[in-house]
């Protein structure tokens, strides 16, 4: 890895907000509130790196990924991809830019059309964008299947004939069909057996090295994120709490929430595990419909003081490349 100041920023996310309206009434619908799914998220992803995005279920990780790709249009904020603001794009311009950004979905059972063959699934993006057709399309599909470790002769089979790990490889092949530079991996291994997870992660790493891909890797498995990511962002209730280089974050977590998360990761050393202090968080995650004032984490934070309830902490750089949103750091 090169230093960040020498790197080219591929994706710049600036104060991204996504609220889902809550409405009442059948004929005349009136908005009575909003789900604050993503509430002011900012980060950069450098070309060729993997940024891990971790947090508890329901904290807004997947919504962040989908809003970046404009599958959900943001409530406010900007997303600059290769220097262009995706939020300002519409219609044909956005459609053309979409070729360069793809997604690998969480559930390999739900994300593949059961009525289409594998060849049709992998070939569909190229037909839609008119990049290949006829014999060239067949050859390209065969190449993509081989690239992800599947037999090209399987292209006439249907998704139900494959295991979960093989289906996820089909999803990877489909994501690669248009030669993207950014792939959002939305928990691509959480629905798979543990024995298969490592195979899929190794495949993603090999493809990144071979094709120069950039990943936003969304997950809640902290040990897997440590394995694959260059930098890691920790998310809680729609806000990024901490962002740092992988080893810096795991060895020197500064935010109380990050410390609590990492204290739950098992260590494969019985002596170290016995001496280690577990941080048990009190209470439940607050509702994103009515998030706490000030710091989002204050209702469960063992260190919270008065200012935490009054002021929202600024997401600031504590030392080079290490950002934290906490009044007490």
The count of other CB atoms within 10 Å of the CB of residue 72 is 17
The pTM for the full model equals: 0.91
Question: Across residues 289-303, what is the average pLDDT?
Answer: 91
What confidence score (pLDDT) does residue 60 get?
A: 92
Q: Work out the pLDDT band at 237, boundaries 50, 70, 90.
A: very high
Which residues, in sequence order, are CB contacts of 203 under 8 Å at separation 6+? 148, 149, 169, 172
What confidence score (pLDDT) does residue 275 get?
A: 73
What confidence score (pLDDT) does residue 4 get?
A: 54
Is pLDDT of 222 > 80? yes
Handedness of CA 161, 205, 176, 90 (dihedral sign): positive
State the Cα–Cα distance between residues 214 and 207, nearest whole angstrom: 10
Q: Work out the pLDDT band at 280, boundaries 50, 70, 90.
A: confident
State which fold the 4-24+31-100+180-325 domain adopts: Rossmann fold (3.40.50)
CA 327 from chain centre, in angstroms, equals: 27
State the Cα–Cα distance between residues 325 and 329, nearest whole angstrom: 8
Task: List the chain domain ranges.
Answer: 4-24+31-100+180-325
Q: Work out the pLDDT band at 124, boundaries 50, 70, 90.
A: very high
What confidence score (pLDDT) does residue 273 get?
A: 66
């Amino acid at each position: 890895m090169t230093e960040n100041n020498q790197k080219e920023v591929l994706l710049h996310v600036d104060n991204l907000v996504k609220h889902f309206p809550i409405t009442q009434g059948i004929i005349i619908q009136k908005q009575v509130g909003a789900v604050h799914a993503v509430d002011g998220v900012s980060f950069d992803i450098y070309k060729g790196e993997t940024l891990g995005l971790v947090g508890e279920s329901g904290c807004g990780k997947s919504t962040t990924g989908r809003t970046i790709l404009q599958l959900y249009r943001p409530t406010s904020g900007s997303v600059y991809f290769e220097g262009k603001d995706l939020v300002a794009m519409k219609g044909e311009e956005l459609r053309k830019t979409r070729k360069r950004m793809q997604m690998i979905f969480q559930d390999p059972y739900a994300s593949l059309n059961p009525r289409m063959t594998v060849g049709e699934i992998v070939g569909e993006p190229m037909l839609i964008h008119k990049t290949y057709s006829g014999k060239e399309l067949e050859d390209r599909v065969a190449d993509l299947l081989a690239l992800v470790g599947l037999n090209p002769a399987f292209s006439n089979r249907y998704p139900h004939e494959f295991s979960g790990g093989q289906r996820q490889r089909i999803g990877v092949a489909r994501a690669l069909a248009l030669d993207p530079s950014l792939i959002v991996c939305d928990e691509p291994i959480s629905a798979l057996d543990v024995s298969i997870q490592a195979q899929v992660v190794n495949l993603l790493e090999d493809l990144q090295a071979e094709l120069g891909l950039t990943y936003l890797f969304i997950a809640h498995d902290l040990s897997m994120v440590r394995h694959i990511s260059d930098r890691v962002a920790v998310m809680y209730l729609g806000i990024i709490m901490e962002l740092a280089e992988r080893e810096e974050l795991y060895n020197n977590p500064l935010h109380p929430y990050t410390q609590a998360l990492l204290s739950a990761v098992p260590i494969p050393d019985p002596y170290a595990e016995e001496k280690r202090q577990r941080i048990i968080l009190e209470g439940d995650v607050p509702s994103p419909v009515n998030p706490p004032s000030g710091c989002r984490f204050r209702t469960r934070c063992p260190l919270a003081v008065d200012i935490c309830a009054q002021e929202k902490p600024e997401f600031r750089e504590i030392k080079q490349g290490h950002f934290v949103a906490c009044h007490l750091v």
